[in-house]
Amino acid sequence: MSWKILKRSVGLFCVAITYFLSTNTSAKAAQTVVLRYGPLEESISVAELQSIAETGEVPDKYKIYIDRLPPEKRQEFLEVLRKKIPVNFVTLSRLLYTPVGSTILQDFSKLTLRKDNAGMQALRAGLVSGSKTSKGLSIISFIEAYPSERIQIDVQQAFNVFNKLNLAYRQTQQFMQAIAPQLSSQRPQLNLPFDASQAGSAKVQFLNLPKLKDEKRQRLVPVDIYWSTAATRTKPVIILTHGFSSDRTDMRYIAEHLASHGYVVAAVEHTGSNQTYEVSLTKRGIIPFIQPQEFLDRPKDVSFVLDKLAQLNKTAKNPLQGKIATDNVTVIGHSFGGGTALSLAGSELQVDFLKEYCRHLPATTNSAEGLQCFAQSLPENRYQLRDSRIKQAIALNPTTSLMFGKTGLEKVQIPTLILASSADKTTPALTEQVIGFNKIPSPKWLIGIVAATHSSIKDPISTAQREEKKQPSGVGDVEVVGKQATDIRKYMKAITLAFTSQTTSEASKYKIFLTPEYAQYLSTKSFPIRLVTEISPDIMKLVNQAVEKY
């Protein structure tokens, strides 16, 4: 039995855990790992694995195998054993009890050989319990928590699954590495007319409408409205749409920034997919999931709010009277809200593609793909949800890979800006943003922020409140937020202001902020930023290769 096989098998679990977790301890714990390859079988104790990880020394009886490996492969094996992944075990537990999680576990249960046929349940228990350690989930903590004295792995099955794992995330890193050298490493010298990341001089006002209701759909649509004394109909209305299991405060700093510059901003709450919705299901013992109708209701929420804003614009003595241009709207969405923004921009929801693709979810399924698959039970094959009042769209870390099928994004009819984060495990940049960006007609912009995560663009107060609500014994998800993401939010203020201004008389003076040079100018050592308006043929070759494999 080759030590190389052991290395690959161990690596299988680590890579899988890393990929799927962007997101009842057993009385018996595994003490021995048994690897089977056809008729061959080899055993190694957990204690021996632990010793190898800590010391780097391989017991004499295994040196016959390790000596066959080149030095770089030996080091790779040690790195796999030592790798620890910070995971919130509550989030992990929820994921593994969803339909998508069950599909993932079914694939992985083929790797373990259990006489009681309880491989899927054992994997779930091992993953969740193994993630409770103070330093995070590792291959050894998983094995130690696996509910059996021995864990048997079918190596031939492992090879099949291993070849499908983590492709999106690994290819995303290739993309980010490819676009990074396109500009000089030196900071460009720019003659900026002003600092677009700085707040305007006008005082921001706030109006909370928590009980706004669409009577036709019998649906609450709470809204927070931000504006200032500088508000005028010459500037577009801005609509903010949040992600799944989130709320309307997630982009509050963007709302306040734009309002200070004279824009009216409405932050919409989608009550069928917000944080309150998730919490209510969890309290009732129901695994959080999204209703298929939500893919239609979210764009309708935005259209309903625009109708209400048009009424406010005509309401006598209302502070917003005459200041709201609901015929000139920019929509800004994050994550699932980014998908909502693209639907409103003209992308076609292609349910027939979802029905075909989601019938047999592959092991590469990430949480973004799993969420999109919930739309497959909608009754019609195609949906066009565009609102013609929306003239521009900004989609931050959006979901696009499945819900718009192969051609839905080609129907976008307005200028669009897409943001992708290289360390985003929730909506991996390559599959969820980069491939989709290539399908969107121009004018368009793609921003890549190296080392940013899925939540890096969120409001620091919002993310801080969520951190406080986490289980104290759980290991937090690895998200770059709060003070760590200050530089990222500074760029977000500038780029959203510059983009929204493009439908105003001030468009020309903001053009400089929509350039690759400004993106590099605001880059830092921690967060290199790149902006492109098209993907070069060389990079598209990498993308196409990834699509073929995916």
> pLDDT per residue over 428-453, tens digit each?
888 899 999 999 999 999 999 988 99
* Whole-number pLDDT of residue 34: 74
pLDDT at 40 over 50: yes
DSSP letters, 34-103, are: EEEETTEEEEEEHHHHHHHHHH-PPPGGGHHHHTTS-HHHHHHHHHHHH--B---HHHHHHHHTSHHHHH
Contacts 24+ apart (CB under 8 A), 283-287: 287/94, 287/97, 287/98
List phi, psi (to 5°) of 456. Answer: -65, -25
Stated length of the chain: 550
In this predicted model, what pLDDT tens digit does every residue of 475-523 receive, in sequence order? 334 789 999 999 999 999 999 999 999 999 999 999 999 999 999 999 9
Can you give the pLDDT at residue 474?
33
- Structure letter (DSSP) for residue 238: E
- Tens of pLDDT along 258-295? 999 999 999 999 999 999 988 887 777 666 688 999 99
Tell me which of 527 and 467 has the higher pLDDT.
527
Average predicted confidence (pLDDT) for the chain: 81
- Cβ neighbours of residue 492 under 8 Å, at least 6 residues apart? 254, 396, 457
CA atoms within 13 A on the CB side of 7: 19
- φ, ψ for residue 387, nearest 5 deg: -115, 115
Task: Report the sign of the C-alpha dihedral through residues 420, 422, 426, 429, in that order.
Answer: positive
> What's the rounded mean pLDDT across residues 153-174?
54
Q: What is the CATH number of domain 171-549?
A: 3.40.50.1820
193 within 8 A of 512, measured Cβ to Cβ: yes
DSSP line for 416-444: EEEEEETT-SSS-HIIIIIHHHHHSPSSE
- Of 368 and 31, which is predicted with more confidence? 368
How high is the pLDDT of residue 164? 47
All structural domains of the chain with their residue ranges: 3-165, 171-549
pLDDT at 27 over 50: no
pLDDT digits (tens, 9 = 90+) for 301-331: 999 999 999 999 999 989 999 999 999 999 9
CA distance 175 to 550: 15
Count of C-beta atoms within a 10 Å radius of residue 483 = 7
Q: Bridge-partner residues for 227, per DSSP?
A: 205
pLDDT band at 113 (very low <50, low <70, confident <90, very high): low
Compute the average pLDDT of residues 153-168: 52
pLDDT of residue 70: 65
Identify which of 32-36, 150-154, 391-395 has the greatest average pLDDT: 391-395
